[in-house]
Amino acid sequence: MTPDLQEAGAATLERHHQQAAAPSSAGGASFGRLMHASEPDFAHGVALYLDEISVSFDGFKALNSLSLAIDVGEMRCIIGPNGAGKTTMMDVITGKTRPDSGHAHFGSNIDLLRLREPQIVRAGICRKFQKPTVYEELSVFENLELALQNDRGVRAALFARLSGTQRERIAEILQLVHLLPESHRIAGLLSHGQKQWLEIGMLLAQEPVLLLLDEPVAGMTDEETERTAELFLTLVGKHSLVVVEHDMKFVDMLTQGHRKVTVLHEGSVLAEGTLAEVQSNTQVIDVYLGR
C-alpha cells in the first residue's frame, strides 16, 4: 500500500471515530460506520443496559430480575432502603460479582458478563467505592498520574514519562476537584471530603463513558456536598453517571426537578420518575420514605 493511500485510510478511520464518538449522532442505524469488536457501540443512545439480572447469596435474593437502561450522557440517581441491592448492582456491572441469570451490556455490543474487572474498566466503566479509596502514601499528583488514560502494561510503566499535555490534563482535573493547592501533599493527609474528590478526580482522569458513584457525598460537609453536586452537573452530557445516594437533598440538587430517579426495593425497580413523582408514589412511601 502506498503512503498516501494509508494516510487517506487513516483519515477516514479518524472521521468515523469522531462520528461514532459524538453522542448527538445517537439514533438511526448509521450505515457505513466502522466498528471494532472491542469498542462499545453507543449509536443507539444507550450506555448501559441491564436485563433481568438476578443474584442470590445463600438463598437471599440480592437482585431479583433487575432491568435498567442508562442513556449516553444521562445522570441517573438511584435510591432505595438498605439491602435494596444498590451495591450488588454495581458489583455486577464492574465484574466483581457474577449474576445467576440475566444480561448486562455496555453500549449495544459489549457483554459485560464475559469480561474481567480490568477489561471492564478499560472499556470505559469506572467506579467510586463507598469508602474513599486512594493511594494514601502517594502525593495527590501521583494519584492522578496513575489514573491517567494510557498503557497499563509493565514495560510501558517502567519507562513512562509525563508529557506536557498529560501534566496539563492533571492540572485541569486538580482544578475541577478543587485540589490544585494540595497537589504536593500526601493523599493520606487529606480530609475525608478531599479524599472523596480525589477519587472522583481519578475516575475522571480515566475519561470513562460511564461513572458509577456509590454514595459520593458520604461524610462530606454541607458546603462540600453542594460543590460536589455542582461538579457532577458539569459532567452531564460528557459522561453517563449513575449515582447511588441516601441524601435526598443531594439527589434533589442533582436532578433539578426533571431528571429521572430510580427506586430500588428488594432487588428490583419499584418506581421510576422525577424525585417529586417517586416521593408521591404510595408504594415508595410505604417501603421507604414513610418508613
Q: Is 122 in the site for other proteins (CB under 8 A)?
A: yes
Pick between residue 90 and residue 243 the one whose CB is nearest to other proteins. Answer: 90
Q: Is 138 in the site for other proteins (CB under 8 A)?
A: yes
Minimum CB separation of residue 179 from other proteins in Å reads 11
Pick between residue 100 and residue 168 the one whose CB is nearest to other proteins. Answer: 168
The pattern of x and - marking residues 168 through 197 that bind other proteins according to CB under 8 A reads: x-xxx-xx----xx-xx-x-xx--------
Q: Is 230 in the site for other proteins (CB under 8 A)?
A: no
Q: Is 222 in the site for other proteins (CB under 8 A)?
A: no
Pick between residue 134 and residue 269 the one whose CB is nearest to other proteins. Answer: 134
In Å, how far from its chain's centre is CA 14?
A: 26
Q: Is 160 in the site for other proteins (CB under 8 A)?
A: yes
Minimum CB separation of residue 238 from other proteins in Å reads 17
Minimum CB separation of residue 130 from other proteins in Å reads 12
Minimum CB separation of residue 89 from other proteins in Å reads 16
Q: Are 112 and 121 in contact (CB under 8 A)?
A: no
Q: Cell numbers at residue 87, please?
A: 451495591
Q: Is 247 in the site for other proteins (CB under 8 A)?
A: no
Q: Is 258 in the site for other proteins (CB under 8 A)?
A: no
Pick between residue 190 and residue 217 the one whose CB is nearest to other proteins. Answer: 190
* Only segment of 18-26, 50-58, 198-206, 215-223 that touches other proteins (CB under 8 A): 198-206
Round to whole Å and give the CA distance between 15 and 60.
50
Q: Is 114 in the site for other proteins (CB under 8 A)?
A: no
Q: Which residues bind other proteins (CB under 8 A)?
A: 94, 117-118, 121-122, 126-127, 129, 133-139, 141-142, 145-147, 152-154, 157-162, 167-168, 170-172, 174-175, 180-181, 183-184, 186, 188-189, 199, 202, 206
